[in-house]
Amino acid sequence: MAISRQQEIRALDADERALVEKSHHPEIQTLSDKELADLVKRMRERRDKAKDRANQRRREMRGKAAPKGATPSTADEGSKLKQAVLATAMRRLNSETERRRKMTASSSQVEIARRALAMKQSAENDDADFNSRHAHKGMRKVSNRKQRNLVRPMELGRQRKAAGVAQAKRDSR
């Protein structure tokens, strides 16, 4: 289920609220790449801290860990909500970072394709130089490397037939 802005405000303190506000749609696209990277780093630290705190509170509730404060925690809905809000903000930031990376990569590919087309067109206009992959003196005969058999095929057939007849005579005895 989606988290409303009112729930976000209730779950976060003032510093975290300012960070999460920057991760929403209109503001995230106005950030420069450096500011976005810095925001991702700070948001990741806050999310990890909230996650650790939520895990600690759950352990306190089960009795597996000593309480951090004077009394052990009895509920952790607030820490769960805070962790969910920060995780959602991280997802938004990561998707924006990935969108910018893909956009940069595609524009880079367009530039590479344009440069390749220009090189191809300039090569078609120039005369082919000597080191190009074109035939200059035409095709050349490749000599056959297989040894030529000097025995006539008719003689080979005659010997094979004679051997077969001799074997038949031996088998019939």
> How far is residue 155's CA from residue 6's CA, in Å, rounded to a whole number?
102
Give the pLDDT band (50/70/90) at residue 128: low
Question: Hey, what are 60's tokens?
Answer: 């306190």
Does 73 score more than 80 pLDDT? no
Look at residue 172 and tell me if it is in a domain: no
Mean of per-residue pLDDT scores for the chain: 87
Report the pLDDT averaged over residues 29-52.
94
Q: Which residue has better confidence, 51 or 148?
A: 51
Burial class, 17, CB count within 10 angstroms (exposed 0-12 / middle 13-18 / buried 19+): middle
Instruction: State the Cα angle at 165 between 162 and 167, rounded to 5°.
Output: 110
Look at residue 159 and tell me if it is in a domain: no
pLDDT score of 122: 83
Burial class, 54, CB count within 10 angstroms (exposed 0-12 / middle 13-18 / buried 19+): buried
pLDDT by residue (tens digit) across 86-101? 999 999 999 999 999 9
pLDDT score of 17: 93
pLDDT score of 131: 60
Look at residue 47 and tell me if it is in a domain: yes
Contact status, residue 25 vs residue 102, Cβ threshold 8 Å: no
**Which of 17-21, 72-76, 156-160 has the least mean pLDDT?**
72-76
> Which of 104, 11, 99 is CA-nearest to residue 50?
11
pLDDT score of 168: 96
Total structural domains in the chain? 1
Look at residue 141 and tell me if it is in a domain: no
Look at residue 20 and tell me if it is in a domain: yes
Look at residue 152 and tell me if it is in a domain: no
Give the pLDDT band (50/70/90) at residue 135: low
> How far is residue 13's CA from residue 16's CA, in Å, rounded to a whole number?
5
Look at residue 138 and tell me if it is in a domain: no
pLDDT score of 133: 63
**Which of 53-67, 121-135, 159-173 has the least mean pLDDT?**
121-135
Global pTM reads 0.61
What domain range includes position 15?
5-120
